Structure 1
Amino acid sequence: MAQLYSSMKPTPVLKDELDIVIPTIRNLDFLEMWRPFFEQYHLIIVQDGDPSRTINIPKGFDYELYNRNDINRILGPKSSCISFKDSACRCFGYMVSKKKYIYTIDDDCFVAKDPSGKEINALEQHIKNLLSPSTPHFFNTLYDPYGDGADFVRGYPFSMREGAITAVSHGLWLNIPDYDAPTQLVKPLERNSRYVDAVMTIPKGTLLPMCGMNLAFDRELIGPAMYFGLMGDGQPIGRYDDMWAGWCVKVICDHMGWGVKTGLPYIWHSKASNPFVNLRKEYNGIFWQEEAVPFFQSVTLPKECDSVQRCYTELAKLVKEKLGKVDPYFIKLADGMVTWIEAWDELNAPNSKKRGH
């Protein structure tokens, strides 16, 4: 049964049911701008890089801070599955959270304004998206039929209007677009000023390039599949962490009958990363994605995969079998996927207290 949601009612704030996860290597001054929207929530901050460095966090926020030493202490040998010197380390925050929902944001993202000049409460819109159903099985040409001022169009089957549970809400960005390095190099001055007032469900069978800088999801539902892979330090690839998670998540959501939404809310992405540094990180990924995407497009999970963990373990096996031929890295990544699930289950077992400071 889909979650019922009326766009006319005020959006629940889910104060006690949602954690905000932030990966960072710097002081979190950006939180000042988000204070009106974030202050009532619990933050999980995953500090990347040198664990001896002290980062400043503005006063008044309720937070937990984890660095590499904490990750090693809490996960032990299984800490090998958490990336180092890459924003993929954020998925450790998903693992140690005990809340139903997660919102994750990068530390170079600020509050955007809609065309009327009003500041956008990104978290409120993500919550709206997650609490209203999705329509993965039949596309509604008026975008999200559960949004304000919208409905199902003529010809939409009445038997399908209850929709499906929404597992993921994928938000967008104004200002600096989320481009790969080659596109950055040929369009160095391009900025996104196009605000599209729409949310849509990505159809079943269609993959997406998921961006982790403005993303919310139902952790209880899809959390075990939100693994951002082995990236960054010591790995032959970077900047594909959220892409990898997105491909895995979408395949599993399609199998389980859940929905993924994209569109609103927008945030303001303030900082363009260096395209030459990015090219070095992405170089292998640009080649490998031409093999990985057809692999995910062709994956069929067996009926016995009736939980996210079973789906993900099966995916890991198929990654090793099919993509291991492309490069040995994928064998290592598949092993990381299995370790991630083991660590997730260990930390999230009933009555598990192994966490935190």
Structure 2
Amino acid sequence: MATSNSNHPLKDDLDIVIPTIRNLDFLEMWRPFFQPYHLIIVQDGDPSRSIKVPDGFDYELYNRNDINKILGPEASCISFKDSACRCFGYMVSKKKYIFTIDDDCFVAKDPTGKDINALAQHIKNLLNPSTPYFFNTLYDPFSDGADFVRGYPFSLREGIPTAVSHGLWLNIPDYDAPTQLVKPREKNTRYVDAVMTIPKGTLFPMCGMNLAFDRKLIGPAMYFGLMGDGQPIGRYDDMWAGWCVKEYKGIFWQEEIIPFFQATSLPKECTTVQSCYVELARMVKDKLGKIDPYFVKLGDAMVTWIEAWDELNPKESKKINGK
């Protein structure tokens, strides 16, 4: 199929990362939007199981054996039997941008019945600035038909580079277990056509099922933690990369962990994403290790993750202080 970069922006600068345990038949629905892009598929679970990918897609496929071979002892930082294995795809990618999606996500429709190209919306977000220091009452000032409103400081209108574009979803709400128990039949049917910047210093619940980010800007910080097989908890992997707690122990831990993040500040000597993340790992072990030994193990895994990232990406060392 012949395509052009004008019809598919960032075609050569974006990888789509998909964690999976099954055949990827869901890609047929996404074919009009995904086929021009390169896919990195991270197979979870039994590596001897054959995963089928529909014809016509450009992809590379990694299973646990591949991860162990490539990373050696450092493969211990990649979760097993959990969708957090997707972050291996972030590590081996060499593109500037990443879009990641779960293998049970389907194309939504807008109120007119038209298919929504979620990837195109993410790309638009990533290529436009964010405005975290002052809220614009027309939401995204860079969207069609909008601008900065009266009273918005001119000195802040240039904005800053967008690091993360967080997508939403229809149908199944992303509730934690207790909320699901009391609302087992609830569906999300509210279509929201708006883009907003999360203010500086504000935490939010990030979900990895429909997410895009600037890998060159913050890639080393997008580590989804240790989850799944051999770990005391699962399904709050994306929390560690954004802050999202979904299951039993995390519901109790979050009451102490969120204040930790709110109070965290990094020394000025940390000028790269890697150095910031290693310092954060030290603080996790020191402060959160008192809550549960798991956080000591997680802190060590965070350091291992950075070591493995730097080994596979030796030329990447993004400074975070531009001044």
Q: TM-score range by the shorter chain?
A: over 0.9
For 1:326 and 1:151, the matched residues in 2 are separated by 46
Match status 1:75 vs 2:71: yes
Alignment of 1:40-189 (within 5 A): 40-189=36-185
> Per-residue deviation at 1:11?
7.6
> Per-residue deviation at 1:333?
0.2
Contact 2:278 2:302 in 1 (8 A): yes
Deviation by residue 1:187-222 (Cα, 9 ceiling, x = unmatched): 011111101110000000100100000000000001
Contact 2:97 2:216 in 1 (8 A): yes
In structure 2, stretches of 5+ residues that fail to align are 1-5, 317-323
Structure 2 partner of 1:13? 9
Change (3 A) 1:308 1:36: same
Of structures 1 and 2, the one scoring higher in RCO (CA 8 A, sep 6+) is 1
Match status 1:23 vs 2:30: no
Deviation by residue 1:281-332 (Cα, 9 ceiling, x = unmatched): x211111111111100110111111111111111101101100000000000
Contact 2:8 2:36 in 1 (8 A): no
Deviation by residue 1:29-68 (Cα, 9 ceiling, x = unmatched): 0000000000010000000000000011111100000000
Identity over the aligned pairs, expressed in percent? Answer: 83
Contact 1:15 1:41 in 2 (8 A): yes
* From 191, 202, 205, the counterpart of 2:187: 191
For 2:315 and 2:241, the matched residues in 1 are separated by 25
In structure 1, stretches of 5+ residues that fail to align are 1-9, 249-277, 352-357
For 1:77 and 1:34, the matched residues in 2 are separated by 36
For 1:109 and 1:144, the matched residues in 2 are separated by 26
For 1:171 and 1:43, the matched residues in 2 are separated by 19
Choose 132-141 or 66-75, whichever is displaced more.
132-141
> Per-residue deviation at 1:142?
1.3
TM normalised by structure 1 equals: 0.85
Q: Which has the higher strand share?
A: 1
Contact 1:34 1:111 in 2 (8 A): yes
* From 254, 270, 295, the counterpart of 1:305: 270
Contact 1:11 1:128 in 2 (8 A): no
For 2:139 and 2:276, the matched residues in 1 are separated by 29
Structure 2 partner of 1:268? none
For 1:58 and 1:320, the matched residues in 2 are separated by 44
Alignment of 1:202-241 (within 5 A): 202-241=198-237
Task: Give the length in aligned residue pairs.
Answer: 311
> Per-residue deviation at 1:12?
5.8
> Per-residue deviation at 1:350?
3.3
For 2:202 and 2:102, the matched residues in 1 are separated by 26
Where in structure 1 do 4 or more consecutive aligned residues deviate above 3 Å? none
Code of the aligned partner of 1:345? D
For 1:11 and 1:225, the matched residues in 2 are separated by 31
